[in-house]
A and B are shown apart, each in its own frame.
Chain A
Amino acid sequence: MTDILIFILATLGALFAMLAAIGILRMPDTLLRISVTTKAATLGIGLILGAAALYFGDLAVSSRVQAIIIFIVLTAPVGAHLIGRTSYFTGNELWKKSVIDDLKGKYDIKKHELQSEDAQKLHRKEKQKKEDDDRKNAKEENTW
């Protein structure tokens, strides 16, 4: 009975790992590659480690396996987000068939901060305001 379960878990895990490998080879741009590998690899590794825990059937081993799985599930999204952010800043182009880029113009390239409004428009608005204030001040000085 345990053997059959190990068979199934190991096969599914290997299949998901293979899907991740095919995905990283075939996907057309960096962000899509990141998305494919993170999800598929996490599930594949979890299933294979689960097969190992079933095989040994020991509390020491299964707690170790649990620690690895929790660690991977926690760190894989964090790592993917960090590397995706870096990829956006280093100016990787999206796939030419991508429909929308939600972050376009919203990152302040110099400060690396995200704004809800278009960063360049914001700069322009501030400049305009400054000029208006200057003009007003000049007018007031003239009237005196």
Chain B
Amino acid sequence: MSLHDYLYFVILPILAISSLAVFVRFVKGPTIVDRIVAFDLIVTLGIAEIAIYSIIYDKPTFLDIATILALIAFLGTVAFAYYLEKRNKKDD
């Protein structure tokens, strides 16, 4: 089994099933905070998938997209946390 086959037939399915499990939590999540955490984890798993794809297709350019995705995930989490806390302040 070559490296490419191993990555394609073992690692990528594991990551895909993980994403699916996180997506279940995203749909089910009882509170909005659970959904935000699940979304963050989905994006993080996306970074891992992009890294594996860049190995399989031998294109290091894909890693730039991984950088941007990491930036956007952090920004999204911070923005959601900030505005949720503000919304609650107003209610009091």
Contact = CB atoms under 8 A, between A and B. Distances in A.
Contacts of A82: 77-78, 81-82
B25 A24 contact: yes
Interface residues of B, number: 49
A121 B18 CA distance: 46
Interface residues of A, number: 51
A65 B3 contact: no
Interface string B32-53: 1110111011001101100110
A142 B79 CA distance: 58
Interface of B: 3, 6-7, 10-11, 14-15, 17-19, 21-22, 24-25, 31-34, 36-38, 40-41, 44-45, 47-48, 51-52, 54-55, 60, 63-64, 66-67, 70-71, 74, 77-78, 80-82, 84-85, 88-89, 92
6 contacts: A11-B11, A18-B14, A33-B25, A82-B81, A90-B32, A109-B92
Interface of A: 3, 6-7, 10-11, 13-15, 17-18, 20-22, 24-25, 30, 33-34, 37, 41, 44-45, 48-49, 51-52, 55-56, 58, 60-61, 64-65, 67-68, 71-72, 75, 78-79, 82-83, 85-87, 89-90, 92, 109-110, 112
